[in-house]
Structure 1
Amino acid sequence: MRGPSGPMVNIWANVMHVVGAPARATRRLTHAQGADRTGLGRLIELTAAHSAGDALVTVALAGALLFRLPVGQARGQVAAYLLVTMLPFTVVAPFVGPVLDRLRSGRRYIMAGTLLARGLLCWGMAGAVHTSDAVTLFPSALAVLVLSKAYNVSRAAIMPSLLPADIPLVTANARVALFALVSAGAGAGLATGLSAAAGPDWVLRAAVPVFLLCGVFAVRLPRHVDAPDPEDDEPRPRWRTLLGLRPDAGRAAHPGAEPGVGERAGAGRAAHPDAEPGVGECAGADTGAGPGVGSVVGSVVGEAMGANAAIRVQSGFLVFFLLFLVQDGHLRGLDPAVALALLAAAAGAGGLAGAAAGSWTRSRSPQLTVLATLALATVATVAAAFVFTIWTAAAVALVGAFAQGLGKLAFDAIVQREIGEEVRSSAFGVAETLLQIAWVSGGLLGLVLSLFVAGPAGLGVMSAALALAFGRLLTLRRRRLAARPAAA
């Protein structure tokens, strides 16, 4: 049998070069600044693939629950889905984080398990969508969502152990988020085309190999991702841990990590140039400081949590309020399909801009960044309430997505810096649950208001809520800063 001729070999080589060039360029970006040596590059690539799989699931469920139903019936389906995703989280929250904290020595396998389980669940959901079996679809969708949050909690908890010496936490989080958003956008585009051609059930089937391969690659993360088990750490009173007073145990560099990784991951706030003045002392106040010191750290995290929750309420509100305004014909100016595409593109661009801006904030306080994002979201919503058109709706969607992305990056950096490793997964588990509940609450509010009020009135209600949240957080911050000398 004759082999391929010379010209065919050259054509094949050229094709492989063209196809491989983007992959090589992407790897150079993900592995830059020492990320290849610490394992951060692998985590970025894994999270990007995970986000593409999540995008496939999201588009498939949207196609099954929204666009194949009349508007009124779609509202009922969406409300049921939102309630199903919110209520069990109040039960799951107390267990996911503590379990992840107790199994720190097997983090890679926990992450792999969440991915492999989602692959199997997607196969089951595909059959449920094909047969319109809501009894199977909703619990499976809930399980996929919970496992996705468990992966995100684990990923955020291990970030400090993979941090190169010259990359700040906010920048590292931003790099992960940026590649995840780009991958999710590509996955959403592919899923939209596949759903139109073959149906949402085939989109879910396409997600199966994505999650299964991600599960395999999760096991290949560096071994120093797995921290010592809690019983190997020095005993520590639980109340000190929950206050954010971090131990020295478990924070040293793990075997195989790049020199300097452990010290940077465990360094207190005072060691960072972007730390908020006066807070660094609280993070390391293990040596006989007064009883009020730990509560100051709790206030820092609590303020950031409150700001992100308010932004998530706005995000969920905008998604469903604007969606049903378009579908009901109340947001005119463009064809409904074009209007929805414009709003989705604006939100996607805002998310990408927020991730890109994360690296710019490296020399600034994450706490101030969180408050600034809430202020920006408030101003944009107020402006859109006064001048409400499809274009101002797109603008507020863009600004809201930007605020949500950048605010979450800064919040993650605050938690990673202020909360000890022994309860970091629990902290992220609670945070993810509260943010999910906030987003669902905003979505339900938007769904209900879309039945009774026009666009300006609905955005006016959201503007008032955001302004109240921002004013309250400013007041709390001023009180904390005023009380800081007394605590010291």
Structure 2
Amino acid sequence: MANAWNRVRRASHATAGATRRAGRSAAHAGRRLGRGTRSLGQATRRLTHAQGAGRTGLGRLIELTSAHSAGDAFVTVALAGALFFKLPVGQARGQVALYLLVTMIPFTVVAPFVGPVLDRFRSGRRYVMAGTLFARGLLCWGMAAAIRPSDALTLFPAALAVLVLSKAYNVSRAAIMPSVLPADITLVAANARVALFALVAAGAAAGLSTGLTAWIGADWVLRATTALFLVAGVAAVRLPRHVDSPDLEADLDADLEPDLEPGPEADPELGVTADLGAAPHTAQETGTPGAGQGTDLGADHKAGLGTGQGRKARSRHRWRELIRVGPVVGEAVRANAAIRVQAGFLVFFLLFLVQDGNIPGLAPHITLGLLAVAAGGGGFLGAAVASWTRSRSPQIIILGTLALATVTTMVTAVFFTLWTAVVVALAAAFAQGLGKLALDAIIQREIAEEVRSSTFGVAEALLQIAWVFGGLAGLVMSLSAHGPAGLAVVSAGLAVTFVWLLVRRRTRLAATAGRVPEPGGTPPDAPGGGAPTPQGAAWAPHEESDITPVVPREPLRPRRDDTKPLTNPY
């Protein structure tokens, strides 16, 4: 009996010792994990706050956008298992076309209305961004309760609302980029840095959410995403105050004298505009003087436009400037639309070629995996290359990406194999990512504050429609055309678009160089030289000219709390 008791006691001591050792090992591992996590966080913070990004608020915006992208990845993976959101790859092409129309077209219809709403709340952009994050968190909580019974009436409207709110966040984020831009970073590089961290966060979140969905279920992943969006919303409110654009009308009403007489240069019927936010070197970069597209609210106030009639006039000016965005922005949007058509075409054309066995070499699922990896790697490579740019013109970058997409598509049409298909998928994703970053930089530089969000909303809608159009064309051409024939048609369209844009650009630059007068000189095309333009006055061309006139005006005074360092406060 005593021996048995001794054995039990020794076993108890051994168990207690093993438990203590296991606890010490776990604690040691936890400390090492905590130190590793802190080191990773500190390294990430050094990267996001480099080159003055921490002082201007760009670093915080990068971290916030990374959380936003991670939340979107969680939602996408969680909904991927729902029956309603599965892409019917192996089913009829008509069902895939219906999927495109149902999931993309409503979003493109709603997207143009997002920008004007955001433009009305320029002085509270932090709260708008926080509101989109909070609303997505609540929608994720509702979808978590509807995903197990596959309640499509709840899932589809909620998922569509999440898409629209995600786009609203992206539009707001792009609109405030000039406000947080450090002095030694270009707009293209800043946009690329945001996109690069967002892609890394989305990729890591996609892998993590895949494992969590298999372990605890999609509903709990959506509930965890709710917490992530709520925390991100609080971080959005804590962005620097200079992110919010000053209320120019209120400042002018308070600061300018009410008895100012209207000047002839401020006549609202002339449609005269002035640049509120373009850098001083914009004319040299674009070849177009006064490339900014904003409305001179100070001149409107001096002309007595502070009443209801003045607000209507300013509204008309905003819509006119939104429609007539200028040749530089129009050229960039058209080039990106052509790239989006090619990207949408390749996604569905190559997908059904693989399904029909028209791309031999490997098993279909391996081929699809290679194409998916090439597309993801191309987008990441585009963001990385854009982050290395220093003084490259965004217009040249966009034309270069269009030329790259054209050449690779032509080569793939001539030498069509599995590996050339992988290369064209990589090049298309690279061109799409890099071209979009350059387009964002052009809009941020050329479009004034009061219509910038609206311009971003319209541009996003047009690009989304172009992608859907390309996808539908890929579906149709996969019925009758093989790989070389379909790619030849797309490459011909890209080549025609590239040549057309290049000819228009050269013509515009040549005409602009011939019509721009020297300071204090004579207007162009004046018979006999004409009378010299008085010094200090701005020459205003005919309103059908593509040259944007600039009105001399007094600089607007910033708010007292607008203390954004390292950037131009105007």
Q: Settle same-fold status: TM greater than 0.5.
A: yes
Aligned to 1:262: none
Within 5 Å, give how 1:250-269 maps onto structure 2. 266-269=278-281
State the structure with more CA Rg: 2
Contact persistence 1:282–1:296 (CA under 8 A): no
Report the residue type matching 1:323 in the other structure: L
Q: Count how many residue pairs are aligned between Structure 1 and Structure 2.
A: 459
Contact persistence 2:140–2:222 (CA under 8 A): yes
Percent of aligned pairs with the same amino acid: 66
Whether 1:278 and 2:278 are equivalent positions in the alignment is no
Which of 37, 42, 47 does residue 29 from structure 1 map onto? 47
More helix by share: 1
Whether 1:81 and 2:109 are equivalent positions in the alignment is no
Aligned to 1:306: 334
Aligned to 2:90: 71
Which of 357, 366, 387 does residue 394 from structure 2 map onto? 366
Which of 118, 123, 130 does residue 105 from structure 1 map onto? 123
Secondary structure of 2:91 counterpart: helix
Report the residue type matching 1:423 in the other structure: V
Which of 168, 171, 178 does residue 160 from structure 1 map onto? 178
Which of 455, 465, 470 does residue 437 from structure 1 map onto? 465
Secondary structure of 1:391 counterpart: helix
* Partners of 2:270 and 2:49 in 1: CA distance: 37
**Taking structure 1 as reference, are residues 127 and 460 closer, same or farther at Cα in structure 2, changes over 3 Å only?**
farther
Contact persistence 1:244–1:298 (CA under 8 A): no
**Taking structure 1 as reference, are residues 8 and 211 closer, same or farther at Cα in structure 2, changes over 3 Å only?**
closer
* Partners of 2:116 and 2:154 in 1: CA distance: 28
Aligned to 1:259: none
Aligned to 2:521: none
Report the residue type matching 1:267 in the other structure: A
RMSD: 3.1
122-131 or 232-241: bigger deviation: 232-241
Secondary structure of 2:500 counterpart: helix
Aligned to 1:447: 475
Structure 1 stretches lacking a partner, 5+ long: 252-265, 289-293
TM-score for the superposition, normalised by structure 2? 0.73
* Partners of 2:485 and 2:211 in 1: CA distance: 36
Which of 231, 246, 249 does residue 275 from structure 2 map onto? 246
Whether 1:52 and 2:81 are equivalent positions in the alignment is no
Contact persistence 2:123–2:247 (CA under 8 A): yes
* Partners of 1:108 and 1:481 in 2: CA distance: 39
* Partners of 2:102 and 2:186 in 1: CA distance: 37
Aligned to 1:115: 133
TM-score for the superposition, normalised by structure 1? 0.85
472-481 or 129-138: bigger deviation: 129-138
Q: Deviations over 1:227-286 (max 9, x none)?
A: 123532559999999x97423xxx6xxxxxxxxxxxxxx523348xxx525235444999
* Partners of 2:268 and 2:490 in 1: CA distance: 39
* Partners of 2:268 and 2:35 in 1: CA distance: 56
* Partners of 1:453 and 1:196 in 2: CA distance: 40
Aligned to 1:151: 169
State the Cα distance separating 1:124 from its structure 2 match: 3.3
Within 5 Å, give how 1:37-436 maps onto structure 2. 37-64=55-82, 69=88, 71-72=90-91, 75-89=93-107, 91-195=109-213, 203-232=221-250, 234=252, 245-247=274-276, 266-270=278-282, 276=285, 278-279=287-288, 281-283=290-292, 298-436=326-464
State the Cα distance separating 1:352 from its structure 2 match: 1.2
* Partners of 2:252 and 2:503 in 1: CA distance: 38
Whether 1:467 and 2:495 are equivalent positions in the alignment is yes
**Taking structure 1 as reference, are residues 282 and 7 closer, same or farther at Cα in structure 2, changes over 3 Å only?**
closer
Contact persistence 2:294–2:451 (CA under 8 A): no
Contact persistence 2:294–2:448 (CA under 8 A): no
**Taking structure 1 as reference, are residues 459 and 58 closer, same or farther at Cα in structure 2, changes over 3 Å only?**
farther
**Taking structure 1 as reference, are residues 285 and 379 closer, same or farther at Cα in structure 2, changes over 3 Å only?**
same
Structure 2 stretches lacking a partner, 5+ long: 1-19, 254-265, 300-320, 517-570
* Partners of 2:155 and 2:371 in 1: CA distance: 27
